[in-house]
Amino acid sequence: MTKKRGVLYFTLSEMTPRVWITLTKCNFRCRGCFSPARDADGKIMDAEETLNRLNIACTEYYGFVPDEALITGGEPTISRGYLLNLIDGLKKSGFKKIILCTNGYELSESDYVEDLKLAGLIEAQLDIKCYDKKVHIWYTGKSNIPVLKAIKNLNNLKVDLIIQTVYIPEIVEKEEIKRISIFLSDINPDIKYRINPFEPKFSYERISRTPHEEELRESYEIAKSYLKNTILSMSCRREFAKNPKKGKWVTVYPDLSFERRGVEEYEHERISRLQPL
């Protein structure tokens, strides 16, 4: 099992003490991907070195280790040994809520999910790109059968779930949202489900347009009829809060240099990393 991984940067929230660990590389090639970590190399580190640098960053900025850590990418699950060591280390460092952001493809085997939970995983934020198998292969290059199985595994092992789908006009619209909602409600009607709007200016490929508000609202109403914990996305995880806060984030690079950035800076980073059209 891979014990090292590329780390792009850490992100520390100004709004609520919370950290993101952004790992590089992915096993999907999503046409609508916006992540700057998909093709980046990052700093190759083992879990121990990653944790040491993260703990230094947290101590220098917050003065303490916060409760919540999110592991994102790229796709964190493609390096099983590294990920398990990282989660175990986060738990031992004092992080109480450890969250995995994943496409779920590697989690079709229940023993991997069992190991993640034993290591300290509390919550998974998992993307269902689409329910239609052919469209999923066209969009990601991979089947969605392992993804759908991963959701069942995570739910069966009582890992908290937030499922996300990007509404992409003419590709993933209300009928796909309905099929996904029915699938999820059959597993657990209390699963949190978030619908995100497609943003073409951030996408690796210009495959669609920005959805209209009425399209999103109609899909929301459909999903809500099956899943009571459905929301339309604002940003990050703040939609589930009663009084969402506004602020900036601090990016900490592997050399431990700091940069304070807001939405505009992150948007610029996304756009600057896009492949030429």
* H-helix or E-strand spanning residue 21: strand 18-23
Q: What is the pLDDT of residue 261?
A: 73
Whether the model clears a pTM of 0.85, i.e. scores above it, the answer is: yes
Amino acid in the structure at residue 269: E
Q: Could you give all domains of the chain from N- to C-terminal order, each with its CATH number?
A: 4-160+242-272 (3.20.20.70)
| Rounded distance between C-alpha atoms, residue 131 and residue 177, angstroms | 8
Mean pLDDT in order along the chain per 10 residues (277 residues) = 90 94 97 92 97 97 97 97 98 98 97 98 98 98 98 98 98 98 98 96 92 96 98 59 65 94 63 52
Task: State residue 180 phi and psi, 5-degree precision.
Answer: -65, -45
Distance of CA 17 to the CA centre of its chain: 18
Q: What is the pLDDT of residue 71?
A: 98
Q: What is the pLDDT of residue 240?
A: 45
Q: What is the pLDDT of residue 262?
A: 66
Query: What burial letters (b/e) apply to 228-257, b meaning 16+ CB within 10 Å?
Result: ebbbbbeeebeeeeeeeeeebbbbbbbeee
Task: State residue 126 phi and psi, 5-degree precision.
Answer: -120, 135
Q: What is the pLDDT of residue 274?
A: 57
Q: What is the pLDDT of residue 12?
A: 97
Q: What is the pLDDT of residue 15?
A: 87
| Rounded distance between C-alpha atoms, residue 73 and residue 3, angstroms | 16
